[in-house]
A and B are shown apart, each in its own frame.
Chain A
Amino acid sequence: MPEADLVLRVEHLSHSFGGFKAVDDCTFEIARGSISALIGPNGAGKSTAVGLIAGALKVQSGRVYFDGQDVTRLPAYKMARRGLLRTYQVSREFPLLTVMENLLVPPPDQRGESLLNALLRPSVGRRQDAALASRAVDVLETYGLLPLRDEYAGNLSGGEKRLLELARAEMANAKFMLLDEPMAGINPALIARLDGHIRRLREQAGITFLLVEHNLDVVERICDQVVVMASGRTLAEGSMAELRRNPEVVRAYLGGGLDERAVG
């Protein structure tokens, strides 16, 4: 694959917690504009890999390149400012902020966040807020969350929180979204809506997606490329159809029952 088409490259990433090697020489590449999946049995090191890429965990060895630059040592907030947004396995809304406020936090370059502007020129923040709120209304409408705009985010249902996570990432002008089990624990109708939004964001905003996902139906339906991890390392890469024919993958993933038992 030519260099210019890659948005993320992970090289020989390793990470241990105490004596336990959670990620062990993990290497893969993600093409720009793709929707990719990271799959593997529980304990394969997927979430750890996500944490390492997003800068939430300090990389012990290996390298991470994002948009052609070495970002191995960047902390989480700097990764986000470069356009790499991640979500968590468990929804991490700001519970005592309203849904609307949850959407106003993520946008980058807020001039009202400077102390001097906050104290001496509050109109600077207010003016920018007006524009952001206006955009947030559109985003909330898209996700069907507009009637809930004044609700505390902590009071939303599990499914609504999942939608809110995507809406927030959209407000943050993401280039790359790293979603850790975005479909976990939600009903099939909502899964269809979520994957619709993911495809829409790829088409409209050119956002690249990497999903950690256990639901192989979803993976097969929306992902172009799949990376399989097992015991901390990358086992295989390719399309879902190719991976189903790979005996090593079939053996690692759920003890061989890839076709019969892999859903859910």
Chain B
Amino acid sequence: MDLILPYLATLAIFFFVYNILTWGLNIQFGYAGVLDFTFITFVACGAYFSGVFALGPGQKSTGFEWILGLNWPFPIALVMGALAAGLLGIVIGLIAINRLRSDYMAIVTLATGTVIYGLVSNYTPLFDGFDGLAGLQTPFSQWLNINYNQFTYLWVGFCAVVMVICWFIAQRILNSPLGRTMRAIREDQEAAEAFGKDSVRVRLIAMSMGAVLAGVGGALLMGFIGAFNPAGWTSGETFVVWAALIVGGRGNNWGGVVGSFVVAVLVNEATRYIPPIPGNATLIPTVRNMLIGASLIAVLWLRPEGIIPEARRRFYQLPLLPGRRTPAEGVGSAGS
């Protein structure tokens, strides 16, 4: 019991964080059709910036160096990490979206992410290069006297609260006229422009709001693990989130929940606790990646819209003015 509960709590944290990440990618790709192949860069941005806001100042002499180091309380650092990721979303969005169409845009996001990866892992004054950030005091420890297991349970609750806030952000965008315009641009960008929609502005909003959620998820990981380095955000990680979104179903956030549970939690995270097979240490990670790839192919063949497809918005769900005829009467009176 002493082992299983913390284990389940850890999986719950990953589940909640991956939900947030999948919703973030859903805003970018599922709503607005932006092919963001460097999603993990925004996660890293949130993790790093929340880290350097919450950590103390780095010192070159001790071999730990990073920018800022402000000792801010973690919840505020998390917000700063999310904002930094949102800003990076606008920057990468401007590079990728402004002039290019979808497939080229995807290549440019991947290329930009690779440039940033090279910069961050080699230029140590930023986030201590390949060693990365470490030594973050457990969040809330300045106010509460708790041991590590208790902190894990506390973090499950904190992640749940943050996740609910992110759910509302994602749902409100989806159900607003802004979300409708994003989906119209996803369906046919040129036609949306021909109806007066500024597709660059709308896709930049999608890019940066998706990046904000990515940043929140990254900050939650930073707060939980207390360390973050380039080994944690290789480009392969981007495709775990992509696989979760495609398998679960894009364009609706319940699909993201299902996908993040199946792909990210069951396959990607839960299998990390299986002890390595003696003499074949890489077998489990390899099988894990094969499983993710296979689930992606299976879904694209058998159910391309995902386990939970995008919901059709029926007319009775649309608000009518008070006193206006109901849809049923509308059909009856057609031609009047």
Contact = CB atoms under 8 A, between A and B. Distances in A.
Given A56-B193, A80-B195, A86-B194, A97 B187 contact: yes
Contacts of A105: 180-181, 184, 192, 195, 197
Contacts of B324: 130, 134, 137
A149 B195 contact: no
Contacts of B188: 92-95
B318 A114 contact: no
Interface in A126-183: 126-131, 133-134, 137, 141, 144, 146-147, 149-150, 152, 168, 172
A110 B327 CA distance: 23
A77 B320 contact: no
B172 interface: yes
Given A94-B187, A118-B179, A54 B194 contact: yes
A74 B195 CA distance: 14
Interface in B307-331: 310, 312-315, 318-321, 324-325, 327, 330-331
A125 B176 contact: yes
Contacts of B178: 112-115, 117-118, 125
A106 interface: yes
A111 B178 CA distance: 9
Contacts of A235: none
B196 A97 contact: no
Nearest to B331: A147
A101 B313 contact: yes
Interface residues of B, number: 46
Interface residues of A, number: 54
A77 B199 CA distance: 8
A78 B324 CA distance: 33
Given A100-B318, A147-B331, A129 B196 contact: no
A142 B158 CA distance: 53
Given A106-B195, A130-B319, A146-B331, A118 B177 contact: yes
Interface of A: 54, 56, 75-78, 80-81, 85-88, 92-98, 100-101, 104-106, 108, 110-115, 117-119, 122, 125-131, 133-134, 137, 141, 144, 146-147, 149-150, 152, 168, 172
27 contacts: A75-B193, A76-B190, A76-B194, A77-B194, A77-B196, A78-B196, A80-B194, A87-B194, A92-B188, A92-B191, A94-B187, A94-B191, A97-B184, A100-B318, A105-B181, A112-B176, A113-B202, A117-B176, A118-B177, A122-B175, A122-B176, A125-B176, A129-B319, A134-B320, A137-B330, A141-B330, A168-B195
